[in-house]
Amino acid sequence: MMRIVQWTKRGRGALGAAMSIGILSIAACGALPDASEQTETRAGAIGSTEPQQTINNLTDLMNMSGTGNYLLTTNLNASGFTWHYGYFYGTLDGGNHTISNLTTSDSIGEAAGLFVYAETALIKNLKLTNEHVSGTYDVGGLVGDCVDCEISNVAVEGAMTAPVYAGGIVGGMSGGHITNSYFKGSVTGGTIGTGGLVGYAAVGNSGFAKVEKSYAQAASQTLASASTTSGTHPAGGIVGYGTALWVNDVYAVGNVSGRGSVGGLVGQMACDGSDQWFLYNGIYRGDVTDASRPGTSGGWAGVIGAAHDMNCYGRFAGLLYNKDLDGSSSFFSYSGNQVAATTTQLKQPTTANGGIYCLPDVVTGRCGDNAFASPPWDAGTSTQYHALMNMPGPNVQPR
C-alpha cells in the first residue's frame, strides 16, 4: 500500500546569502501594488484537466495517480492507516469533506505531509483534523514541499514538527498561492523557517509565493516555536522566512518564539534579486518572544521580526498588533506602518473616516487603500475582533 517516490527539494538557493546580510532600510514601501504587480503569471497549467474520478475510501486516496483529477465524496478516518504519498501534480477537490486522525512522518526523503511533494497542483475544499506530521525538512499539514501550487478553502488542525521548514499547511513553498485557508494547532521548528501557515516561502515559476485571506490560530497558547539557542532562527505566525513573498489580509492568534527574527505574522523577509515583497493588512494577537532580544533590553513585539537585503520595492502597511498581549517596547518600524493597538481599539469596527482599521492616507480622514475592506474582513460587533469571510470549517474564528 505504500507509494515510494524519490523527489528533489527546490527553491532554497537564496536562503544562505540572505541570512548573512544585516538589516537594511526598506526602499519605497507603502504604495499599493499597481495592476501589473498584482497580476500573477502562471507557468503551465494548474492542477489536472483529466476526467474527474471519485475517492470513496482510504484505498482510493492512496492509489491516486500523481497527475489525476479527484473528488473526495465522504469523510475519512485515517487512524492507524500507513500513509506516505510522494509526488502530486493533479487536482484534489475535497468536496468540503474531512480526513481525520492522520499521522505521518518522513519515512522516505526528508519531507512529510498529506503530500510529500506537489507541483502545479490544485488542492481545494479539504479539511484535515487531528493531524500529526513530523520530519527533518519541509513538513506541512497539507504539503511538505509545494512548488507553484494553488491551495484554497483548506483547513488543517493538528501539530507539525521539523527542525527545518515547518508550517501548519505547507513546509516549503516556491511560488503558488494559498487563500481562504487556516491552520489551528502548533508548529514546532528548529533552526530555520517555522510558520503558522508556511515555514519557508520563495519565488517560483508562477511568481510570488502568495498568502492571503487566511489565518493561523494556536490550539492553546503557542502557535509557532523555533529554536532559541545561539544563531538566527526565524519564526512567524503566518510565515517563518520569506523571499519574494506576498502576504495580505491575514491574521494570527497565539504566541510565537524563536531567535533573531521573530514576528507575529512573518519572522524574516528578504528580496530575491529584483523581486519585491509585500506585507499589508494584517493583525497579530499574541506575544512575540525573541531569545536574542530579552526583556531586559525592551523585548520584541509586532508583526515582523526582521527584514534583510531590502533593496527592492515593496509594501509594508496596514499592520496591527495587540499591545495588551505584548507590551515589549522594541519592534520593527518603517514610517509608522505598524501600529500597536489595545484590545479595545482592535474591537472597534472600521468607519469611513477613521478608527484603528482605517490607517491615515495622504488626505486626513480618508482611509484610501489602507482600509480593512469588507470583504474579505468582517468587523463583527463593537465587542469582537475582526475575522475573515468565507472561511472553511470546522474551526470557528476567535472573536
First vs last Cα of the chain: how many Å apart?
43
Element (H, E) at 61: helix 58-62
Question: What does the block give as the cell for 36?
Answer: 501589473
pLDDT of residue 149: 96
Q: Check residue 369 and give its pLDDT.
A: 53
Residue 16 pLDDT = 36
Quote the cell numbers at residue 398: 476567535
**What pLDDT score does 11 carry?**
42
Angle at 126 between CA 256 and CA 117, to 5 degrees: 70
Contact 244, 224 (CB under 8 A): no
Q: In which element (H, E) is residue 346 found?
A: helix 343-346
What's residue 207's pLDDT?
86
Give tens-digit pLDDT for 194-238: 999 999 999 999 888 999 999 999 999 999 999 999 899 999 999
Give every residue of the chain whose pLDDT is below 70, as ranges. Answer: 1-45, 107-109, 273-274, 309-310, 313, 334-336, 349-354, 359-371
What local confidence, expressed as pLDDT, does residue 36 receive?
Answer: 37
Distance CA 273, CA 95 (A): 39
Q: What is the pLDDT of residue 305?
A: 93
Distance CA(318)–CA(371), nearest Å, equals: 7
Residue pair 251/386 in contact by the 8 Å Cβ criterion? yes
Domains and CATH numbers, the chain: 20-388 (2.160.20.110)
Paired strand residues for 317: 280
